């Protein structure tokens, strides 16, 4: 457990340019404190001290605003940046060196049993306000955009954005759909893409309607 704590400290120092020293991170970073409470509560949970484990986790929630169920499985080097409102469910699994921003939820849908929370690979980044729900898998080095709602698996080294989330980049390359790029103006926006497709369909229907009306007038004038 203490090796994991040292690794958490080094991970935050490496990825946060605002962190000036290990002492600053240890005493002043709520994200680090939340993980520290989790390490203790998880140890108790594994040793079947479920009541004490939940008490420690709720104590951490009270002081940090971050709720991590003691039954969750979290690897080394987790960085919760400005983590107010982060929720990690009981059967969630988080790989090594992941980054979660404020408002992230790794939760369930209420319909699943057993494994009902997400599984994140290593080096995953989940943006502010994103919700990852259900027993979905987020691959290694994947990114989830801010305020996205993820209900499907996200492949490794890909980017998912939108509500509901869609994969718009894989290994840095834009994803293509129906022969056209999803990314029209450099920023992946699946909602804009859907609106664009609807406009194209509406324009096609209008042309078809005008053609049929013209044909009808032609036959009426005969």
Domain presence at residue 184: no
Computed over its alpha carbons, how large is the radius of gyration of the chain?
A: 23
**130 occurs within a structural domain:** yes
Question: 46: Cβ–Cβ under 8 A, 6 or more apart, which residues?
Answer: none
* Regions of the chain with pLDDT less than 70: 1, 172-193, 218-222
Q: Are residues 86 and 158 in the same domain?
A: yes
- The pLDDT tens digits of the residues spanning 74-121 come to 998 899 988 899 999 999 999 999 999 999 999 988 777 789 999 999
Predicted TM-score (pTM) of this structure: 0.73
Indicate if 216 and 131 belong to the same structural domain.
no
Q: What is the pLDDT of residue 191?
A: 64
**Structural domain span for residue 203:** 189-222
Same domain, 161 and 207: no
Tell me what pLDDT residue 184 has: 35
Query: What is the number of domains present in the chain?
Result: 2
198 cis-preceded (ω within 30 degrees of 0): no
Q: Is 179 a domain residue?
A: no
Give me the pLDDT at residue 5, please: 78
Based on the domain organization, do 165 and 206 belong to the same domain?
Answer: no
């Amino acid at each position: 457990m203490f090796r994991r704590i040292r690794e958490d400290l080094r991970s935050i120092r490496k990825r946060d340019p605002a962190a000036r020293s290990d002492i600053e991170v240890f005493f002043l970073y709520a994200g680090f404190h939340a993980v520290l409470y989790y390490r203790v509560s998880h140890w108790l949970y594994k040793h079947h001290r479920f009541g004490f484990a939940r008490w420690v986790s709720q104590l951490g929630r009270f002081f940090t605003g971050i709720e991590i169920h003691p039954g969750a499985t979290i690897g080394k080097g987790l960085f919760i940046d400005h983590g107010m409102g982060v929720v990690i469910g009981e059967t969630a699994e988080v790989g090594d060196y992941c980054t979660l921003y404020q408002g992230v939820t790794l939760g369930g849908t209420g319909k699943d049993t057993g494994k009902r929370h997400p599984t994140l690979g290593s080096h995953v980044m989940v943006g502010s306000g994103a919700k990852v729900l259900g027993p979905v898998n987020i691959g290694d080095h994947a990114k989830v955009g801010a305020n996205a709602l993820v209900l499907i698996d996200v492949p490794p080294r890909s980017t998912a954005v939108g509500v509901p989330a869609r994969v718009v980049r894989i290994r840095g390359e834009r994803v293509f759909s129906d022969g056209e790029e999803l990314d029209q103006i450099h920023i992946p926006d699946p909602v804009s893409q859907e609106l664009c497709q609807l406009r194209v369909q509406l324009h096609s229907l209008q042309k078809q309607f005008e053609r049929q009306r013209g044909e009808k007038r032609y036959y009426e004038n005969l």
